[in-house]
């Protein structure tokens, strides 16, 4: 199904994106994953390559998605090694909990630059190759190639406390994907969004919830399906969109969250506090929630 196709993925060293790429590689694709940390990116690339004998998975580190020339260099290296790009996943992201009154302008800008500007840079760097891929597949019923997925979120659907920076950036990502779908759809390129909810075992969960919450017996009970999601379920959605099953899907936002986006979100993020108490009482957002930042951050 994906034999000899190439997927280019930013944030490829992350839990969700590496699983997405691994699923495609297991089905015959080759891949190029890029990230900030060179050692981590190369290690993950080797792990993904072990999924299928004969696969080629290139890891490129020291890439800053906020800089167009950095991504263009990565794309050139990918083309030199793997010859073409058929699929693109934009998964690089920044996130942490922060009330607006403690969210600096630099911190807000940093997340917008990574999530939204990075999405645009990836599009600009890869779209010539996606257009070539789409042009090579002229059978509408069997087109596989020339497809991009942006990884978004659901925070901006209703608004969520302490996520103003991420919600604003992801709303922009959704809007960007819609424009891509309209402008490049006539050329055979599809653009869609995957918006994961609470997915078990991911860094996102560590940044947005306490360990006590995640390991409690009631974890995930507020999700309509009664549990948190699995990384595999995001990968399954990726395979769907990048396979013949997704041939006629364009400009869509595919939410993978068990229906949770239809309910008020991010209540019990820290030791039993719920909305509006967590806002009114100034509950401690730190605890054991992973911030990814030093205690004296420059952001």
Predicted confidence (pLDDT) per residue in 236-252, tens digit: 999 999 999 999 999 99
Going by their DSSP bridges, the two strands 57-60 and 87-90 should be labelled as unpaired
Give the separation between CA 241 and CA 271, rounded to whole angstroms: 38
Q: Any bridge partners for residue 33, and if so which?
A: 9, 59
Give the separation between CA 229 and CA 242, rounded to whole angstroms: 21
- Among the options 5, 119, 170, 209, which is catalytic? 170
Kindly report, residue by residue over 70-96, the tens digit of the pLDDT: 999 999 999 999 999 999 999 999 888
CB 171, CB 156: distance < 8 Å: yes
Task: Find the distance separating the first CA and the last CA of the chain, reported in whole Å.
Answer: 44
Q: Please indicate, yes or no, if residue 267 is contained in any of the structural domains.
A: yes
Structure tokens belonging to residue 123:
């599009």
Give the burial class of 275: count Cβ atoms within 10 A of its Cβ; 0-12 exposed, 13-18 middle, 19 or more buried. middle
Beta strand spans in 72-143 (E) = 87-90
Give the Cβ contact number of residue 186 at 10 Å: 7
Kindly report, residue by residue over 107-122, the tens digit of the pLDDT: 999 999 999 999 999 9
Q: Please indicate, yes or no, if residue 76 is contained in any of the structural domains.
A: yes
The dihedrals phi and psi of 139, each to the nearest 5 degrees, come to: -90, 110
Can you tell me which residue has the tokens 């969520």? Answer: 160
pLDDT over 70 at 202, yes or no: no
Q: pLDDT > 90: what percent of the chain?
A: 68
Q: Please indicate, yes or no, if residue 24 is contained in any of the structural domains.
A: yes
Q: Please indicate, yes or no, if residue 1 is contained in any of the structural domains.
A: no
Give, as one character, the DSSP assignment of residue 266. -
Q: Please indicate, yes or no, if residue 295 is contained in any of the structural domains.
A: no
CB 120, CB 176: distance < 8 Å: yes
Q: Please indicate, yes or no, if residue 290 is contained in any of the structural domains.
A: no
- Among the options 152, 177, 195, 235, which is catalytic? 152
- Would residue 152 show up in a list of annotated catalytic residues for this protein? yes
For position 184, which CATH number holds?
3.40.50.720
CB 121, CB 71: distance < 8 Å: yes
pLDDT over 50 at 298, yes or no: no
Q: Please indicate, yes or no, if residue 292 is contained in any of the structural domains.
A: no
Structure tokens belonging to residue 129:
């190759």
CB 49, CB 22: distance < 8 Å: no
Q: Please indicate, yes or no, if residue 152 is contained in any of the structural domains.
A: yes
pTM: 0.89
- Would residue 170 show up in a list of annotated catalytic residues for this protein? yes
CB 269, CB 208: distance < 8 Å: yes
Count the domains in the chain: 1
Range of the domain at 45: 6-280
Q: Alpha-carbon dihedral of residues 148, 138, 80, 152, nearest 10 degrees?
A: 0
Can you tell me which residue has the tokens 């709303």? Answer: 171
Going 58 to 63 to 66 to 68, the CA torsion angle's sign is negative
């Amino acid at each position: 199904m994906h034999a000899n196709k190439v997927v280019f993925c930013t944030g490829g060293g992350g839990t969700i994106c590496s699983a997405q790429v691994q699923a495609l590689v297991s089905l015959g694709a080759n891949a190029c994953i890029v990230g900030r940390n060179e050692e981590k990116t190369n290690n993950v690339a080797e792990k993904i390559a072990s999924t299928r004998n004969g696969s080629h998975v290139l890891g490129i580190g020291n890439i800053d998605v906020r800089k167009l020339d950095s991504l263009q260099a990565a794309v050139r290296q990918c083309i030199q090694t793997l010859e073409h790009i058929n699929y693109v996943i934009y998964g690089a992201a920044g996130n942490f909990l922060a009330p607006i009154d403690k969210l600096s302008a630099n911190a807000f800008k940093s997340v917008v630059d990574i999530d939204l500007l990075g999405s645009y840079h990836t599009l600009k760097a890869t779209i010539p190759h996606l257009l070539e891929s789409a042009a090579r597949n002229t059978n509408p019923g069997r087109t596989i190639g020339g497809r991009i997925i942006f990884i978004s979120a659901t925070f901006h659907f209703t608004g969520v406390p302490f996520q103003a920076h991420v919600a604003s950036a992801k709303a922009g990502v959704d809007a960007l994907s819609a424009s891509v779908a309209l402008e490049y759809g006539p050329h055979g390129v599809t653009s869609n969004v995957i918006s994961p909810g609470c997915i078990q075992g991911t860094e996102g969960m560590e940044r947005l919830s306490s360990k006590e919450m995640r390991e409690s017996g009631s974890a995930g009970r507020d999700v309509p399906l009664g549990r948190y999601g699995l990384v595999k379920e995001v990968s399954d959605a990726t395979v769907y969109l990048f396979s013949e099953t997704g041939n006629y899907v364009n400009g869509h936002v595919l939410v993978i969250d068990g229906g949770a986006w239809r309910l008020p979100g991010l209540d019990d993020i820290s030791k039993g506090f719920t909305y509006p108490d967590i806002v009114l009482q100034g509950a401690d957002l730190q605890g054991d929630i992973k911030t990814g930042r030093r205690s004296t951050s420059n952001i």
